[in-house]
């Protein structure tokens, strides 16, 4: 079994008191208990009790995730699972917010001095309006969401998110919460060995967890992280500097950025798309196509489409839509993303889904391989169950390539 990583310290993380740490660790352990003890009970409950009852009442077997849900919501065990999951989610933010709130004045000053010492740009345009799909709900129950600003130079959302994501992922996204970025970088270097991006854009970067690995893999590239949340962008800029990196960050909408046509060789996002909307996604794909230079790559790492999994797994994952303030979570998994990418101008032969193996799983498998072959296989075969994952220990990636020829003809 993969050991859970402790979060790595850096100068922008709030110092938690003993009591705050206990609450945070309790929230994380409660999530672990739900995953390991409560979640496995749902399938037997469904097959042995709920499905037969559904058949008696409806005269047919449950066919899809909606049927499964109709039966399961009336079941006491499912209600216990769903309500405990919601409580754990609220608790992890509350526990993170306690130390963030106490440390906010000190860390605002720290962020200002780190940002002032950075050689990279921090762009926060006056009067920026975030889209309603981000500002109208506290997505995944994070109090205030990504955009709320209550004080000058506010970074509170960044402080809460950095710690909260570690608790949410129970450490399995690595010590710097950067497994998605690291896994996509590994994927690119293995599958596109000669691809050397000169400029890289990370859309919906939040606090830059996934952005930083690109700087490590491509130190000479000009890198930009953009997000619609002002507080998270300020935090990202300072956090990157605290980790020793000069990375440009801007408050900007991925639907309509201010960069020139063809400015980037690589445009990526990590778990951003499912927090947008059905109207925004086509615009974002078109914007990616506009921003890419000939030969460039668009890579979105996000939720696997529903049609890649069985109805029961669909039902389990769709609980995020119903109980975790993720309004677009299920709808996004039903979209034909390959068609959207083609409509945006990427040729059909140049668009595909693939799986980027999780860097932390590879790390654990390699470590275990040092012991015995059996223990290595055990780690490599373990399904990952912490959060937004593709079945089998990888992140689902949508990849589109902008051909060189098309641009030359145009």
Return the range that interacts with ligand SAM (CB under 6 A); candidates 21-29, 86-94, 274-282, 313-321: 274-282
Residue whose structure tokens are 């996204």: 173
| Angle, helix 311-323 to helix 65-72, in steps of 10 degrees | 60
Residue 240 beta carbon to ligand SAM: minimum distance, rounded to whole angstroms: 12
Contact with ligand SAM (CB under 6 A): which of 16, 232, 266, 358?
A: 232
Query: Is the C-alpha dihedral spanning 262, 268, 274, 275 positive or negative?
Result: negative
Residue 309 beta carbon to ligand SAM: minimum distance, rounded to whole angstroms: 20
Alpha helices in 120-270 (DSSP H): 132-135, 156-168, 179-191, 211-217, 230-242
Residue 195 beta carbon to ligand SAM: minimum distance, rounded to whole angstroms: 21
Q: Is 175 an interacting residue with respect to ligand SAM (CB under 6 A)?
A: no
Q: Which residue's C-beta sits nearest to ligand SAM?
A: 204
DSSP state of 170: T
* b/e sequence 182-211, b meaning 16+ C-beta within 10 Å: bbbbbbbeeeeeeeebebbbbbbbbbbbbb
Contact with ligand SAM (CB under 6 A): which of 62, 171, 204, 304?
A: 204
Contact with ligand SAM (CB under 6 A): which of 72, 159, 266, 272?
A: 272
The residue ranges of DSSP E strands in 104-169, in sequence order, are 122-123
Contact with ligand SAM (CB under 6 A): which of 229, 230, 231, 357?
A: 229
- The CB-side HSE value for 401 (13 A sphere, CA atoms) comes to 13
Return the range that interacts with ligand SAM (CB under 6 A); candidates 9-17, 108-116, 118-126, 270-278: 270-278
Contact with ligand SAM (CB under 6 A): which of 227, 265, 326, 396?
A: 227
Contact with ligand SAM (CB under 6 A): which of 112, 124, 131, 311?
A: 131
The token pair that represents 326 in the structure block: 């993720």
Q: Which residue lies nearer to ligand SAM by CB, 100 or 226?
A: 226
Asked if residues 236 and 208 have their Cβ atoms less than 8 Å apart, the reply is yes
Q: Which residue lies nearer to ligand SAM by CB, 280 or 359?
A: 280
- 199: which strand partners? 222
Q: CA angle 328-353-318, nearest 5°? A: 30
Q: Is 7 an interacting residue with respect to ligand SAM (CB under 6 A)?
A: no
Residues 184-203 that bind ligand SAM (CB under 6 A): 203
Q: Is 228 an interacting residue with respect to ligand SAM (CB under 6 A)?
A: yes
Q: Is 276 an interacting residue with respect to ligand SAM (CB under 6 A)?
A: yes
Asked if residues 288 and 344 have their Cβ atoms less than 8 Å apart, the reply is yes
- 249: which strand partners? 122, 225
Q: Which residue lies nearer to ligand SAM by CB, 319 or 368?
A: 319
Q: Which residue lies nearer to ligand SAM by CB, 135 or 375?
A: 135
Asked if residues 40 and 77 have their Cβ atoms less than 8 Å apart, the reply is no
Contact with ligand SAM (CB under 6 A): which of 270, 300, 333, 402?
A: 270
Residues 73-112 that bind ligand SAM (CB under 6 A): none
Cα 231 to Cα 130: distance, rounded to the nearest angstrom:
12
Q: Is 210 an interacting residue with respect to ligand SAM (CB under 6 A)?
A: yes
Residues 233-262 that bind ligand SAM (CB under 6 A): 253-255
- 311: Cβ–Cβ under 8 A, 6 or more apart, which residues? 62, 63, 64, 65, 67, 68
Q: Which residue lies nearer to ligand SAM by CB, 51 or 232?
A: 232
The token pair that represents 41 in the structure block: 């009970």
Q: Which residue lies nearer to ligand SAM by CB, 95 or 254?
A: 254
Helix, strand, coil % in the chain, rounded to nearest 5:
55, 10, 35
Residues 138-167 that bind ligand SAM (CB under 6 A): 146
What residue ranges bind ligand SAM (CB under 6 A)? Answer: 131, 134, 146, 180, 203-206, 209-210, 226-229, 232, 253-255, 270-272, 275-276, 280
């Amino acid at each position: 079994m993969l050991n859970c990583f402790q979060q790595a310290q850096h100068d922008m993380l709030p110092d938690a008191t003993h009591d705050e740490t206990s609450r945070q660790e309790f929230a994380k352990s409660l999530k672990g208990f739900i995953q390991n003890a409560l979640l496995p009970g749902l399938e037997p409950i469904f097959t042995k009790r709920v499905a037969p009852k559904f058949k008696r009442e409806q005269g047919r077997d449950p066919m899809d995730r909606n049927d499964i849900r109709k039966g399961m919501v009336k079941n006491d065990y499912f209600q216990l699972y769903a309500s405990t999951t919601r409580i754990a989610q609220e608790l992890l933010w509350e526990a993170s917010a306690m130390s963030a709130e106490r440390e906010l004045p000190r860390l605002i000053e720290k962020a200002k001095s780190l940002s002032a010492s950075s050689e990279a740009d921090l762009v926060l345009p006056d009067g920026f309006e975030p889209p309603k799909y981000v500002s109208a709900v506290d997505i995944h129950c994070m109090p205030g969401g990504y955009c709320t600003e209550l004080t000058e130079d506010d970074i509170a959302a960044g402080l809460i998110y950095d710690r909260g994501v570690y608790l949410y992922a129970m450490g399995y996204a690595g010590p710097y919460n950067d497994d998605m970025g690291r896994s996509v970088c590994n994927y690119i270097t293995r599958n596109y060995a000669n691809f050397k991006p000169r400029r890289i854009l990370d859309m919906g970067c939040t606090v830059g967890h996934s952005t930083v690995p690109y700087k490590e893999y491509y130190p000479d590239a000009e890198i930009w992280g953009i997000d619609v949340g002002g507080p998270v962008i300020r935090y990202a800029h300072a956090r990157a500097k605290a980790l020793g990196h000069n990375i440009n960050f801007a408050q900007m909408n991925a639907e309509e950025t201010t960069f020139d046509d063809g400015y980037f060789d690589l445009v990526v996002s990590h778990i951003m798309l499912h927090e947008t909307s059905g109207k925004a996604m086509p615009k974002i794909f078109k914007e990616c196509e506009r921003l890419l230079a000939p030969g460039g790559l668009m890579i979105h790492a996000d939720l696997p489409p529903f049609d890649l999994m069985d109805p029961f797994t669909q039902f389990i994952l769709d609980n995020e839509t119903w109980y975790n303030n993720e309004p677009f979570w299920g709808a996004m998994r039903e979209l034909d993303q390959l068609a959207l990418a083609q409509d945006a101008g990427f040729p059909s032969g140049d668009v595909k889904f693939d799986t980027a193996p999780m860097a932390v799983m590879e790390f654990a498998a390699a470590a275990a391989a040092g012991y015995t072959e059996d223990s290595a296989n055990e780690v490599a075969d373990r399904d990952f169950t912490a959060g937004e994952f593709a079945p089998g220990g990888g992140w689902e990636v949508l990849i589109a390539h902008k051909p060189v020829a098309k641009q030359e003809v145009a």
